[in-house]
Chains A and B, each alone.
Chain A
Amino acid sequence: MITELGHFALILAFLVSIVQAVVPLVGAQKRWPGWMAVAEPAATLQFILTAAAFAALTHAFVTSDFSLRLVVMNSHSAKPMLYKISGVWGNHEGSMLLWVLILSLFGAMAAWFGGNLPPTLRARVLAVQSSIAVAFFAFIIFTSNPFLRMAVPPFDGQDLNPLLQDPGLAFHPPFLYLGYVGLSICFSFAVAALIEGRVDAAWGRWVRPWTLAAWVFLTIGIALGSWWAYYELGWGGFWFWDPVENASFMPWLLAAALLHSAIVVEKREALKSWTILLAILAFGFSLIGTFIVRSGLLTSVHAFASDPERGVFILGILVVYTGGALTLFAARANVMQAKGVFGIVSRESALVANNIFLAVACFVVFVGTLWPVVAELLFARKLSVGAPFFEMAFTPFMVLLGLLLPIGAMMPWKRANVGRVLRQLAPALFLALALAGLVWAMQTGKTLLGPVGVFLGTWLVAGAITDLYSRLGKNRDLSRLLRLPRADWGKAVAHGGLGITMLGIAGLMAWQEEDIRVAYVGQPFTVGAFEFELNGVERVQGPNYFSNMADVSVRQDGETIATLYPEKRNYPVQQMPTTEAAIDYRLMRDVYVVIGDPQDDGGWVMRVYLKPLANWIWGGCILMAIGGFLSLSDRRFRVAAGARKSQMVGVPAE
């Protein structure tokens, strides 16, 4: 019964989204207030109905209702409750439902918090947002319906893929989708502004908090996914340049660019058409990402053929929405006249440079990701583009970005003096060079990666501190720090976080150590500065798996600093083994131990990895996200509240 109600709610939401996509748009064109006013309640209703459908599906998973095909395929009665819930989005149909749930949530939030927008713009934003929802509701209902029943329900389900039975699944996809789908609202703002024929500073201010929110969620989502891969996959890789990761990384890069170019629109009324284009492309890349993931085009050309319907449907959505928006963009380019005038050396130019680096980096990832398909279709060459390509082609742009960032961040608007900025930054530069030199001299292998990472990390962190320090005024009054706008703090924290992430990545890649051997109980061995001893391996039974759990002591200078319990699990329902690495997390390094198969002579294959600075990667991401939240909480974004007040004050006078 609840399932049918959920199914019904989903169909109703589809119908509501059609109404919301059409009526307010017509209303805005004809200036009919009644028609425009439909948008707000429709957005709320659409969200409530989608949430109801999602709740119904969750109910089916929680109660293990094996009359539902989706539950049978992805759940099992013995599965822990957390994974029953997260299993709702651990599959194609359910994750698409989460997609539209978040899409309609953003639409509803735009309706709730958009009170200060001009009524026509608001009606158009909500209509465009809903038109995206129409496409995805249709996609779910016609190609990926999660509410299909089984003719003969089985006694139990086929369980969820064991790799997905991890808290990572509970948090990684929702955050990623909040980011991915959050960019839809920027897209809607861009298209609405194009229809409206008006892009001004106010538009920049409205669109920025949404971009910021989407970017923050995307940052958290990507970082969580990367950390999940790090501890779950058994050898501590954190980024693989795999098409699907690239699919989430491209919108992140463009959202970061959009975030910065929208500042120029807001403060200086320049870069308008570029910003609109970025807003369209950022969501366009989210759609491309969805297409890549859902069609299987890039991971295997044959997987695409196996489910052409879904892939073609999403390709259609991609072509219609991105193509339509770009056509509209071309038609309306003339309305976006820049107003602000600025010198060749200025904050504006620095932000243009930021956008070039980020956009080119995104383009490199895009070309590398799609090249195997292009090469096969056009040149009949079957080839691979893997991590070594991306490391060589992508990294230079990030290094350049890092080099220029602290300088650009301190430049004033309109006209800047590089000499002056560099003088302020001299201590930071000196510190970064000194540390990089020290590291260069101390490291054993002469790779450049480590010192470059240390230089960039120090330069960015010290640069961010210098930026804050420079705001103190002549008499260096520290109490002024607390009175700085939160956006300034957000900027410094996020930029510092980027530096820390860069340092972590470089450190880990340059200095990690690895040891593979057959370990015997009671025979210690040494890796780096640590001594390891296998104390025994025990057979353990979990709720839905069996496991070989090893007991490994880690000693440093003769003292036991940790006891680790790496596991090798076997999930009988899915017939699948997983490795559960045991990690001793420390500030400066992780010790990462994996247990393998037993050997005939009684030994066990054991892998030990020493991973310096690993936590800095995610620590930096957390800082970037905190920086984003700080900026979001800045009162300048709430200026809108003041605008509404003045309107309300104005009303009685009329």
Chain B
Amino acid sequence: MKRFLGWWAKHPPYALALILALLAAPVAAVQPDEMLQDPTQEARAREISKGLRCLVCQNENIDDSNASLARDLRILVRERITAGDDNAEVVDYIVDRYGEFVLLKPTSGGANWLLWASGPILFVLGLLVAGLYIRRRSTAQAVTEQRLSPEEQTRLQELLRD
């Protein structure tokens, strides 16, 4: 929820109702009692949690969230890890139940390839256009360098004295 609060901090006029609803159960992010004994397993749980979105918060992962739903999801992730799932299986398990909305890192499947490729595509296009422009500039005839007019000369002197 901190993430959510962060958003809220900057946008006071919104989400009052939501904040009140969440505050009914104020618990903090990862609690000591949720944590797994095995440090490797716990580290895996933390890593997976950072990629999963808290469904009732603003753009916040379940690892940082204070919402009780996020706590439930964190416990679920840890249960799956203890049950022997690998990281991908845990994520699939959650996505099966909550939809791809929980993924903070969208997949590249379907139309999402456009999202992932948009930066590189524009970059290549930009390089092409810039390359053509620069080539034209480097071969263009220099506009005849005009000498300064007498008035401009006086003004230049004036500026240099400034």
Contact = CB atoms under 8 A, between A and B. Distances in A.
Interface of A: 74, 90-92, 160-161, 163-164, 225, 228-229, 232-235, 237, 240-244, 270, 293, 296, 299-300, 303, 338-344, 348-349, 352-353, 356, 359-361, 363-364, 367-368, 371, 375, 378-379, 381-389, 392-394, 397, 516-518, 575-579, 596-597, 605, 635, 638-639, 641-643, 645-646
A299 B14 contact: yes
A638 B159 CA distance: 10
A343 B139 CA distance: 8
B75 to A, nearest CB: 15
B158 A645 contact: yes
B35 A516 contact: yes
Contact of A161 (B8, B99, B123, B162): B8
Given A342-B138, A596-B28, A642-B158, A381 B123 contact: no
B101 A270 contact: no
Nearest to A242: B59
Interface string B59-95: 1110010000000000000000000000000000000
Q: 7 smallest A-B Cβ distances: which pairs?
A: A386-B104, A388-B105, A92-B13, A364-B119, A163-B9, A356-B126, A341-B142
Interface in B118-162: 118-119, 122-123, 126-127, 130, 133-135, 137-138, 140-143, 154-155, 158-159, 162
B97 interface: no
A646 B58 contact: no
B27 A597 contact: yes
A645 B3 CA distance: 55
Contacts of B134: 342, 344, 348-349, 352
Contacts, number: 196
B11 A293 contact: yes
Contacts of B102: 384
A340 B137 contact: yes
A338 B3 contact: no
Contacts of B29: 235
Contact of B7 (A299, A338, A371): A299
A650 to B, nearest CB: 9
A566 B25 CA distance: 22
Interface string B21-63: 0010011111110010000000000000011010000111100
Contacts of B35: 516
A229 B143 CA distance: 53
From A74, A241, A344, A517, residue with most partner B Cβ within 10 Å = A344
A360 B119 contact: yes
Given A517-B32, A645-B158, 8 more contacts: A163-B5, A228-B9, A229-B6, A240-B59, A242-B58, A299-B58, A359-B126, A516-B32
Contacts of B9: 161, 163-164, 228-229, 232-233
Contact of A74 (B12, B31, B155): B12
Contact of B100 (A359, A381, A387): A381
Contacts of A243: 59
Nearest to B100: A383
Given A343-B138, A381-B100, A386 B61 contact: yes
B5 A270 contact: no
Contacts of B30: 516
Contacts of B101: 382-384
B56 to A, nearest CB: 11
Nearest to A269: B143
A42 B104 CA distance: 50
B23 A576 contact: yes
7 contacts: A296-B14, A299-B15, A300-B15, A340-B137, A352-B133, A363-B122, A517-B32
A1 B61 CA distance: 49
Given A385-B106, A393-B116, A516-B35, A575 B23 contact: yes
Contacts of B19: 576
Given A339-B143, A352-B134, A356-B127, A233 B6 contact: yes
B13 A91 contact: yes
A517 B34 CA distance: 11
A90 B12 contact: yes
Contact of A383 (B20, B106, B141): B106
Contacts of B112: 375, 383
Contacts of A605: 28, 31-32
A242 B7 contact: yes
Given A235-B64, A352-B133, A388-B104, A299 B12 contact: no
Contacts of B28: 234, 579, 596-597, 605
B118 A363 contact: yes
B12 A91 contact: yes
A360 B6 contact: no
B140 A341 contact: yes
Contacts of B135: 344
Nearest to A349: B134
